[in-house]
Structure 1
Amino acid sequence: MKNPPSLDSLITALRVLPGVGPKSAQRMAYHLMQRDTAGADRLARAIDHARSHLKHCARCNTFSESELCGVCADPQRRQDLLCIVEMPADEMMIEQTRSYDGLYFVLMGRVSPLDGLTARDLPLEQLARRALDGTVSEVVLATNFTAEGEATAHVLHTLLKDRGLTLTRIARGLPVGGELEYVDPGTLAQALYERRGIKD
């Protein structure tokens, strides 16, 4: 038995979501059409609204409904400190720590040769203009500690070194509350390598 074309179209559309395979997409489609038609309507309206209202912040490149996002428009933020992250979700995680009061630049991606993404796919010209605007003095590279994130950090370092900026990289180490016997060897080795002095 074949699905009606409109249902097949919905299943195919749901498969664009990361981590959603054919079976998951089919289950979602059946659920939306049979058990939660109100949810399906809300989802359709939300996607349509987001597509028509979201754009990129002119300064940091994250999603925004206005020319400047809330962080960039906040005069209380440090203007001389710029943190580069891969995705808006990374920015949100840093914001949740309440330990950073500078500004951001969101790459909206990373260097990932296996996915066919190279440095040319990143907004490096826009980033260079932002980082070299004469106000920024320190750039924090906060890409992920994955092979792709490290490759991206290398590209950023190459782009911004010798430009009169202080370049820093977020540290790796043990999680708060972590016990040594349960930590993976790579994280433990990095924590030892990046050890620092104890303040009195």
Structure 2
Amino acid sequence: MLTVIDHPLVQHKLTLMRKKDTTTGDFRRLAREISLLLGYEVLRDLPLETITIETPLETMEAVQVQGKKLCFISILRAGEGILDGILDLVPSARIGHIGLYRDPETHEPVEYYFKVPEALEERLCVVVDPMLATGHSAAAAVTKLKEAGAKQIKLVCLIAAPEGVAAFEAVHADVPVYTAALDRQLDEHAYIRPGLGDAGDRLFGTK
């Protein structure tokens, strides 16, 4: 259920984001650009329906996305860096937020906020978080969404670690994961190596 999106522009922008001397402004801009490109791949199988429209010249049968509007779920706070770009692609989407932080001692997720749109069971929910490290936060977020009624869920991240992918799939084998890179491993502090550092700090200039 893991898809690595290896489009040349995705890989090029990810390389720029990895560089330690990339500025906060450039990092934020690149995150927005790369998430828009990821969105094309993640949403390529959206169901369509045929409708009748009037062009300036004639009536025709055309297609549009079928069903209720998409729902993008941002895992706070770093998920906001991906949310902005994917919203450029689908500005009418509904938005939800799940606040989780990783306990520095146990590396387990601690929830502090949960707010999502109604009728999740009728929507495709795309969960966004830049890093799939231990996989615990993403798994906890998806568990909450399922408890709230979500049935169609996809997870999107910039970089994943093998340990995080395995831990996530052990809990949610039915949820596809899309990433721009599968990196080597986690270190003793549960950071992805080689990675790109702390995505939240780099996005918001807090370190």
TM-score, with structure 1 as normaliser:
0.36
Question: Higher strand share goes to which structure?
Answer: 2
Structure with max Cα Rg: 1
Q: TM-score, normalised by structure 2?
A: 0.35
Higher helix share: 1
